[in-house]
Amino acid sequence: MIHLAWLVPALPLLGMILNIFVGRRLGRKGVGLLASAAVGSAFLVSLGLFISLGGLPHGVHQAEQTLFTWIAAGSFHVTVSLLIDPLSVLMSLVVSGVGFLIHVYSIGYMEHDKDYRRFFVYLNLFVAAMLILVLANNFLLLYVGWELVGLCSYLLIGFWYEKKSAADAGKKAFLTTRIGDVGFALGILLIFVTFGTLDYSAVFSQAPKLLQVGGTTATMITLLLFVGAIGKSAQIPLYVWLPDAMEGPTPVSALIHAATMVTAGVFMVTRTHVLFELAPFSQSVVAIIGTLTAFYAATIALTQMDIKRVLAYSTISQLGYMFLAVGVAAYSAGIFHLMTHAFFKALLFMGAGSVMHALDGETDMRRMGGLIRKMPLTGWTFVVAWLAISGVPPFSGFFSKDEILAAAYHAGHPILWLIGLITAGLTSFYIGRQVFLTFFGRSRVAPDLEPHVHESPSVMTWPLLALALLAAVAGFVGLPSANGSLIQSFLSPVVGGEGGGSFDLLLALLSTGVGLTGIFVAWLMYSAGVVSPTRMAARVRPLYNLLWNKYYVDELYGFLFIRPFRRTAAFLAEIFDPWVIDGAVNAVALVTDGASRVIRVWESGYVRNYALSLLAGAVIMLAYFVLR
């Protein structure tokens, strides 16, 4: 079975290629089915890999498959090879599984789009790229997947390219993440120069010998790699592309926020944890940036009125939790939360998409309300996701988030733990606010739309139900037991056994309490009407405006980077290049021309004069070489 691993990324690629070349003949139905089947079969192969991992000889937890030599020049040698181990297989399952549900959902969601085929071509490529990323056995192949998901986000966020905002958002996503990618690429170069190879196994086995703990090289490598993660996983200061990414069709948001792309950074830190453990400083940076991002993004989410924008900031915030986890070496907790988050965030986005589907594309929560009566499946599955993200037991988010907070606390970071705890309260509040505004209370839907509000077709609700089930019960793989949870022991061959935090009843009660408080406050403000949100906002107007305008960061970046860049470019192109550099060239020409007017006297047109000067020249040259 292991030797079929290459099929996991190859099947979605095949789906893409088939849809490019014969998709036109398949018809709309065929295109969507083919694309979904391609990802579905990749999931089945991943499942096969999962089973065959258990069948490996005792003490062996990984296998490699080398497909071919990719680049060999001088001492640089990189192969296209796959690493099949618990981490990569778990990631493949999540990516292809959630990806498959999103594909199925898209069949319904994109039904009336004129570029149906192009959509599924991109979607397949996206999943394939992410699968390459997680299955790579070396840094350069990881980088291939890493860049290709960036490309796919560009194409999919800007999918409705006729809208300027969509095209802008796609470009922003690609360029912002590429800034991070340059750091990542430099990290890879430094790894190559240090180790002479880019294969994981060789690098990780040599790392303890070649790198000093806390040494400059280890710190530089890990910080550079983390710069890449900051871009891809939307952390401070490169998170700005993700909120705009909602310009893409909603299934794309689900894919980007849940199964692919943004999780890449968390996965990468986990994959390279051997290096990070040699650089305590970098670990602290990861944990601190993660925690700050978690809190910061949650505060922005408090005031937003766009149903997808709230979720976008929520993703940034939840990713912050994951970085907190991997920063305190709680890798299995980080991956665990990555998994549960993939379920409930995909569910939230697809639920939001279902609402937009019913309301003719409306995204403003002020024009929603009471929708659960007309869309019960969408509404109740959304509630499940809300409970999961709020950390209400026994829903999945409870286990994973609690494990992260406990790990931070026990790793000796009480401040990070406290910020994380407060953020948990903010989270359950803003998603609660969203649930009440969208699904409960009286309807504020535009009167002309009101009669048309309907539950989405079953091709869209089935994926919602499947995800709701996962969001509800997936936490149990993290159920604490004597030898660590299921997921801990499954991942322990990769990340070591002591990575996860131990269960702490007091901390668990505390974080549950905070989560419930957030829900309660949301209920007070947006459902019971005890506290008026508008009056609250009025009382803290400057703070509210700051949050509403997302701390003005986009404007700040525009002022600090984009405007100076454009001005420099314009100066160089319009003044420096034509007048200074080309001016110098033309000046030489002018001087030559002037000189030639003088020299023209000799250009008499008489052959005898030319013969004379030729002879003179020859004599001078001869004399030089004879006499020297």
Partner 1 sequence: MNQLSFPFLSLIIFLPLAGALFVTLLPAGQTIRRVALGFALLTFILSLGLYFGFDSTTADMQFVDRAHWFAPLGIQYYVGLDGISLLLVLLTTLLSAISILSTWTAITDRVKEFMISMLLLETALLGVFSAVDLFAFYVFWEASLIPMYFIIGIWGGPRRIYATIKFVLYTMAGSALMLIAILALVFAYHQTYNLWTFDLLKLQTLHIAFRTQVWMFLAFALAFAIKVPLFPFHTWLPDAHVEAPTAGSVILAGVLLKMGTYGFVRFCLPLFPDAAKQAVPLMATLAIVGIIYGALVAFAQRDVKSLVAYSSVSHLGFVMLGVFALNPEGLSGGILQMVNHGLSTGALFLMVGMIYERRHTRQIADFGGLWRQLPLFASFFLVIMLSSIGLPGLNGFVGEFLVLVGAFRVNPWYAVLAATGVVLGAVYMLWMFQRMMFGPLDKVPNQQLQDLNRREVAILVPIVILILLIGIYPQPFLGPMQVSIGHLLAGM
Q: Which two tokens stand for residue 354?
A: 């279902």
Considering only 529, 577, 603, 611, the residue that binds partner 1 (CB under 8 A) is 577
Does 113 bind partner 1 (CB under 8 A)? Our answer is no
Nearer to partner 1 (CB atom), residue 602 or residue 625: 625
Nearer to partner 1 (CB atom), residue 175 or residue 479: 175
Does 152 bind partner 1 (CB under 8 A)? Our answer is no
Considering only 54, 57, 58, 193, the residue that binds partner 1 (CB under 8 A) is 193
Considering only 21, 54, 55, 75, the residue that binds partner 1 (CB under 8 A) is 75
Query: How many residues sit close enough to partner 1 to count as binding (CB under 8 A)?
Result: 51
Considering only 582, 594, 617, 618, the residue that binds partner 1 (CB under 8 A) is 582
Give the span between the Cα atoms of 377 and 371, in whole angstroms: 10
Closest CB 227 distance from partner 1, rounded Å: 11
Does 189 bind partner 1 (CB under 8 A)? Our answer is yes
Nearer to partner 1 (CB atom), residue 455 or residue 554: 554
Q: Which helix (H) or strand (E) holds 80?
A: strand 76-84
Considering only 17, 47, 56, 151, the residue that binds partner 1 (CB under 8 A) is 151
Q: Is 185 helix (H, G, I), strand (E, B) or coil?
A: helix
Q: What is the CA radius of gyration of the chain?
A: 29
Closest CB 238 distance from partner 1, rounded Å: 12
Nearer to partner 1 (CB atom), residue 54 or residue 74: 74
Give the span between the Cα atoms of 498 and 301, in whole angstroms: 34
323 within 8 A of 233, measured Cβ to Cβ: yes
Q: Which stretch binds partner 1 (CB under 8 A): 199-207, 244-252, 374-382, 562-570?
A: 562-570
For residue 9, whether the previous peptide bond is cis, meaning omega lies within 30 degrees of 0, is no
Closest CB 52 distance from partner 1, rounded Å: 27
Q: Which stretch binds partner 1 (CB under 8 A): 45-53, 182-190, 469-477, 541-549?
A: 182-190
Q: Is 329 helix (H, G, I), strand (E, B) or coil?
A: coil
List all residues 6 or more positions away from 334 whose beta carbon is below 8 Å from its beta carbon: 266, 269, 270, 322, 323, 325, 326, 404
Q: Which helix (H) or strand (E) holds 196?
A: none
For residue 414, whether the previous peptide bond is cis, meaning omega lies within 30 degrees of 0, is no
Pairing of strands 63-73, 76-84: antiparallel
Considering only 69, 216, 549, 613, the residue that binds partner 1 (CB under 8 A) is 69
Q: Which stretch binds partner 1 (CB under 8 A): 265-273, 325-333, 431-439, 577-585?
A: 577-585
Residue that the structure tokens 């040698």 belong to: 77
Q: Which stretch binds partner 1 (CB under 8 A): 105-113, 352-360, 518-526, 565-573?
A: 565-573
Does 568 bind partner 1 (CB under 8 A)? Our answer is yes
Amino acid at 537: A
Does 178 bind partner 1 (CB under 8 A)? Our answer is yes
Q: Which two tokens stand for residue 201?
A: 């196994």
Does 545 bind partner 1 (CB under 8 A)? Our answer is no
Nearer to partner 1 (CB atom), residue 70 or residue 380: 70
Q: Which stretch binds partner 1 (CB under 8 A): 27-35, 178-186, 202-210, 493-501?
A: 178-186
86 within 8 A of 215, measured Cβ to Cβ: no
Considering only 28, 171, 374, 444, the residue that binds partner 1 (CB under 8 A) is 171
Give the span between the Cα atoms of 61 and 53, in whole angstroms: 7
Does 56 bind partner 1 (CB under 8 A)? Our answer is no
Amino acid at 140: L
Does 72 bind partner 1 (CB under 8 A)? Our answer is yes
Considering only 50, 70, 462, 557, the residue that binds partner 1 (CB under 8 A) is 70
294 within 8 A of 235, measured Cβ to Cβ: no
82 within 8 A of 64, measured Cβ to Cβ: yes
Other CB atoms within 10 A of residue 493 CB: 16
Instruction: Give the CB-side neighbour count of residue 583, counting CA atoms within 13 A.
Output: 7
Nearer to partner 1 (CB atom), residue 220 or residue 422: 220
Considering only 144, 210, 422, 546, the residue that binds partner 1 (CB under 8 A) is 144
Q: Which of 33, 94, 534, 67 is nearest to 305 (CA)?
A: 534
Nearer to partner 1 (CB atom), residue 268 or residue 522: 268
Give the span between the Cα atoms of 590 and 154, in whole angstroms: 49
Considering only 531, 543, 572, 619, the residue that binds partner 1 (CB under 8 A) is 572
Q: Which helix (H) or strand (E) holds 198?
A: none
- Which residue blocks in 390-532 are alpha helix, DSSP H? 396-410, 414-439, 458-473, 486-495, 505-523
Considering only 73, 607, 620, 626, the residue that binds partner 1 (CB under 8 A) is 73
Closest CB 578 distance from partner 1, rounded Å: 8
Q: Which stretch binds partner 1 (CB under 8 A): 333-341, 353-361, 572-580, 594-602?
A: 572-580
Q: Which of 321, 377, 356 is nearest to 511 (CA)?
A: 321
Closest CB 564 distance from partner 1, rounded Å: 11
Closest CB 69 distance from partner 1, rounded Å: 6
Give the span between the Cα atoms of 13 and 54, in whole angstroms: 28
Residue that the structure tokens 């194409």 belong to: 155
Considering only 126, 174, 239, 398, the residue that binds partner 1 (CB under 8 A) is 174
Q: Which stretch binds partner 1 (CB under 8 A): 43-51, 62-70, 97-105, 468-476?
A: 62-70
Q: Which helix (H) or strand (E) holds 274?
A: helix 273-276
State which of positions 279-298 bind partner 1 (CB under 8 A).
none
CA distances from 29 to 98, 174, 379 (A): 21, 31, 28
Q: Is 593 helix (H, G, I), strand (E, B) or coil?
A: helix
Q: Which residues bind partner 1 (CB under 8 A)?
A: 68-76, 140, 143-144, 147-148, 151, 154, 158, 161-162, 164, 167-168, 171, 174-175, 178-179, 181-182, 185-186, 189-190, 192-193, 565-566, 568-570, 572-574, 577-578, 581-582, 584-585, 589, 625
